[in-house]
Amino acid sequence: MSLDNIIDGRAIAKEVHTETEARVCALKAVGVKPSLIFIRVGEDPASRVYVGMKERSAMKLGIRSQTTVLPSDTPESQLLDLIKQFNDDEGVNGILVQAPLPPHIDETKIFSMVSPAKDVDGFHPINAGKLMLGEKGGFVPCTPAGVHELLIRSGVAIAGSQVVILGRGNIVGKPMAAILCQKESHANATVTICHSRTRDVVFHCRSADIIIAAMGASEFLKEDMVRPGATIIDVGVNRMEDPSQEKGYRLVGDVDFKAVQPIAGKITPNPGGVGPMTIAMLMRNTVLAAEQQVAKHK
């Protein structure tokens, strides 16, 4: 069985990192070392892993990073004060508050308190609005931005294509739709967002040229839901029970890769597809933030 339809997210992320590193060097040449703040609240195991990966990536690229870990019972007001302090600190270019936050903290409120100019996660409403309206200069959320880069750099024809996005979350589904429907090259797609209340998801999927699965349902997308030749992007990270594993589970995507890969035109593996791109986009956003802040202070 041929595997040459697999989109190598790690290789493409490496390309992006190389470009980002050159921009870091250019900033250093004018005396600026880009800096990124991570804030983590509590000890969610996945959050620890994600922040650790982002820290290592920043270090490799020459981006200064600093992580503040707060106990899970931290009052919301204390977290807000900390964000305000970093907002006001000219030595900080980007601020990332790792989700999920403990239930007593209002995530929406927290995200909207990060300075829009330092919002490298792209979760502030003003950045979401700029994305929706097609305005330049805002920050695009890292995962959908990463999927977009994957499609472009894999030579997938986006303009004029029919795209189905599975999932309408604020972190992936909605911004993904906003990116792909714009009147721009590498966009201009006809986008349908499917979700839990969609009546006939199979109908939509089977008419799609590109399917982006981001609804968090283990191996949901099967071969009979995919038009042969379609491009399949798997954003999902789900736990599936597996007694053969030491932890009792394994991580699987939203796509049944084994079943879909043989008929897909192009497909992302999982892991090794979207994940590395999310981190690459975070680094790129951080450098962009630093560049914009330097330009503003000139």
Closest to a second copy by CB, 183 vs 247, is 183
Does 199 bind a second copy (CB under 8 A)? Our answer is: yes
Q: Any catalytic annotation for residue 121?
A: yes
Does 195 bind a second copy (CB under 8 A)? Our answer is: yes
Stretch binding a second copy (CB under 8 A), from 31-39, 132-140, 245-253, 288-296: 132-140
Q: Any catalytic annotation for residue 54?
A: yes
> Considering CB under 8 A, how many residues would be counted as binding a second copy?
42
Decide: 121 and 79 in contact? Cβ < 8 Å: no
Does 174 bind a second copy (CB under 8 A)? Our answer is: yes
Does 100 bind a second copy (CB under 8 A)? Our answer is: no
Q: Any catalytic annotation for residue 266?
A: no
Residue type, 154: S
Does 128 bind a second copy (CB under 8 A)? Our answer is: yes
Token pair 């008419």: residue: 207
Question: Terminus-to-terminus CA distance in the chain, angstroms?
Answer: 57
Does 115 bind a second copy (CB under 8 A)? Our answer is: no
What DSSP string describes 148-195? HHHHHHTT---TT-EEEEE---TTTHHHHHHHHHSSSTT---EEEEE-
Catalytic residue among 98, 209, 234, 254: 98
- Among positions 142-171, residues that touch a second copy (CB under 8 A) are 159-162, 168, 170
Does 99 bind a second copy (CB under 8 A)? Our answer is: no
- Cα dihedral 221, 216, 48, 68, rounded to 10, equals 130
Does 194 bind a second copy (CB under 8 A)? Our answer is: yes
Question: What are 167's two structure tokens?
Answer: 């999932």
The 3-state DSSP class for residue 53 equals helix
Closest by alpha carbon to 295, among 16, 15, 23?
23
Catalytic residue among 119, 121, 209, 234: 121
Does 78 bind a second copy (CB under 8 A)? Our answer is: no
Residues belonging to the active site: 54, 98, 121
